[in-house]
Structure 1
Amino acid sequence: MCILVFIGFVANTMINYWRFEDYRSNQRLAKTLANLKLINSKIQKLSNLDTLTNLYNRRYLLDSFNERILNSQKEDYTFGLIILDLDYLKKINDRYGHIQGDRSILKFSEILLNKLRTGDIAARIGGDEFCILTNKIQVEELLEFAEQIRKDLEKAIIPIYNDSKKYNQVTASVGIILTHGRKNQSFDELYHSIDEALYQAKMEGRNKVILVKS
């Protein structure tokens, strides 16, 4: 009888032990999966960002544009596309070096991020070219929004990286367009229209906002 009790005790102890080990294994597995999910989320986020500015990149912008088209159709609202091209960035690079050019880009990116409203998306789509995809907006608001960004950049002072007593300034030529999802205009179509406006802005002395009629 004692032997049977002892065997039962040992068996029960072993069962509880393996149950505990199984529980610990499941806990470790759950923790590992959670960590992998977090890492994957970070990788996904990084893949959507421009490496210099931490603004979104062109791929994310295009995906967001397509979503905005659908939302605009569904909820019946207009939204804006703003293309901003930094003026004379090449001259800054040639005079002070690419480090200073990057500092100018970073300052501009900071201004953009500070001006964004809820739902707006800012992206770097080229070396000196940026884009804002706005949320719901009317044409008067769009003009004011773009003009405020232009003015803030115009006033910005960017210290020279190797001589704090000197600084450079940078301006931007800005093209804007208001559209609606029901027009079914592609990003490339809108970009082409704005690009012509940017060319006009540069021919007229740069550092200005031009509204394109869609």
Structure 2
Amino acid sequence: MATSRILVADDDEAVLESVTWLLQENGYDVVPANGGTACLEQLEKKSPDLLLLDILMPDADGCQLLERIKGEERWRDLPVLMLSAQPPEEASVRSLGLGAADFIRKPYRPKELLARVQAQLRMGALLRSTRAALLRSEEQLHRAQQDADSRRKLVDILHEVTGDLSVSELFHLLVRRAARALGVSHCSVVLARPGDAHATVVAAFENPGLQQLVVQLDRYPELKAALESGQPVLVEDLDTHELYEGVRHVWGIEGIEIPIRSVIALPFSIDRGQYGVFLVRRTRDQERFGPADLEFAQAVITAAVAVIQRAQMVESTMADNARLEQLAQTDPLTQLLNRRALTERITAEMERALRYDSTLALLMIDLDHFKRVNDTYGHLVGDDVLRDVAQLLSDTIRGSDIVARYGGEEFLVLLPETDDAGAESFADRIRAAVEEHQFASDSLGGEPLRLTASVGVAVYPAARIESVEDLFARADAALYRAKADGRNRVRM
């Protein structure tokens, strides 16, 4: 695995040297940059996996530099970790709103810095791999669309097909159109792999309500032969064809009368290792199939398979888009919303509160003395505790409320349509729930941990709160008072 490259930009030589040494000692390829101008020069040359950026530098404002970096497409997904000695209300909210991935106060703690660096590198790598997979899917989809377009010129079977159809819906559509194009009363799609004992009928023209019917392949020798040989099977007459010699004997013993006279079985394979057979049949009162029918059926089914592949790629691309969107909005440790996603939600809720003359509350929750957990039991136990807190908060909130991880041991809860009294009461309920909860970890052999939490509350609308940043700052100031007053309490 290639060594991760980290660009560190800071005008303080002591900080620059200490961070560079710490990261190099932990196996990272570090590119130091003394100031904002040097940072931009190294960005052009080195293509780092992570940027550690000081907020205040003599030759550049770190936030303005961050905004410039995030404004360029090539650096859009580069995670940026901001370093600053400023208090959070002056720096973190602004930098996070501009696209920073995280914020660390100076003087930094080596263990915390390394943990946050590792987390952002993992997130960055996951984002890059997901985007690469999405790009490959889109390229394959484009090629499949071109192929499907050319095949539609050969056989007019796809007029009803749209990009909104799922693969399952396509199977049902295609058996209808194929049956009409071939002039047959029986047309089915059967899914199975070579060597299987059973197959699944997923669509049938003669029985539109049929779903997932399991059949024994020994009873359908044409399906078995098509799957095993990978070649089309033409049966002009079931009464005389050698494939049915054994099956005809069983039919006679069981007294079964078969209305089918002719069969064409066309094997196909599509993406993700899915195999099957298009099975078209004619009854005894219809003309038998011949070689010309087989050739035409192959053209129809080849076009149909191309459309199924296209539909699968559309489904895959949509799923990849949904995963990428989820990834961009989710904290990887707790699976809660991250700060960036919550900021967007708060903006919308603030606009809604003004529009409908309502209120909303923001709770900022910090676990008291959480550093002791990491220092005493290690970061794995600390991560278990943070996941437990995330679940506890998710279980406590109402359906309309929103919970997010702010960073480190801090969480946020947004309460729409909640006034001062309701917010304070809800905050105290959360504080009590954390205090009463026994945090367990597999790493401790089941030994429980006890923690407390301090909560800062801000309610909107209120004087001097005009933006999301103002609301964050008010909640953070209240949290600071809760800590200063002894912890394990709520302040507004």
Aligned match of 2:320: 39
Paired with 2:294 and 2:349, the residues of 1 have a C-alpha distance of 61
Deviation for aligned residue 1:93: 1.2
Given the alignment, which residue of 444, 455, 462 partners 1:174? 455
TM-score by length of 2: 0.39
Paired with 2:462 and 2:318, the residues of 1 have a C-alpha distance of 34
Whether the 8 Å contact between 1:173 and 1:208 is mirrored in structure 2 is yes
Match runs of 1:120-131 below 5 Å: 120-131=401-412
Match runs of 1:150-161 below 5 Å: 150-159=431-440, 161=442
Per-residue CA distance 1:44-66 (angstroms, 9 max, x = gap): 11221111111110111111111
Deviation for aligned residue 1:32: 1.5
Greater relative contact order (Cα < 8 A, sep 6+): 1
Q: Which amino acid aligns with 2:430?
A: I
Q: Secondary structure at the match of 2:466?
A: coil
Paired with 1:204 and 1:101, the residues of 2 have a C-alpha distance of 25
Whether the 8 Å contact between 1:201 and 1:209 is mirrored in structure 2 is yes
Paired with 2:351 and 2:300, the residues of 1 have a C-alpha distance of 51
Quick check: which one's helix share is greater?
A: 1
Q: Which amino acid aligns with 1:119?
A: S
Match runs of 1:1-214 below 5 Å: 14-15=295-296, 17-159=298-440, 161-164=442-445, 166-180=447-461, 185-211=466-492
TM-score by length of 1: 0.85
Q: Which amino acid aligns with 2:342?
A: L
Structure with max Cα Rg: 2
Unaligned runs of 5+ in 2: 1-289
Deviation for aligned residue 1:126: 1.1
Q: Which amino acid aligns with 1:195?
A: D
Whether the 8 Å contact between 1:69 and 1:184 is mirrored in structure 2 is no
Q: Secondary structure at the match of 1:25?
A: helix
Whether the 8 Å contact between 2:385 and 2:440 is mirrored in structure 1 is no
Deviation for aligned residue 1:16: 5.0
Per-residue CA distance 1:72-117 (angstroms, 9 max, x = gap): 2333311111100111000111112112222221221111000121
Whether the 8 Å contact between 1:73 and 1:182 is mirrored in structure 2 is no
Are the structure 2 counterparts of residues 28 and 196 from structure 1 closer, same or farther at C-alpha, using a change threshold of 3 Å? same
Q: Which amino acid aligns with 1:95?
A: T
Paired with 1:26 and 1:165, the residues of 2 have a C-alpha distance of 54
Paired with 1:197 and 1:183, the residues of 2 have a C-alpha distance of 15
Pairwise CA RMSD of aligned residues?
A: 2.4
Identity %: 29
Paired with 1:93 and 1:61, the residues of 2 have a C-alpha distance of 26
Q: Secondary structure at the match of 1:159?
A: coil
Whether the 8 Å contact between 1:99 and 1:161 is mirrored in structure 2 is no
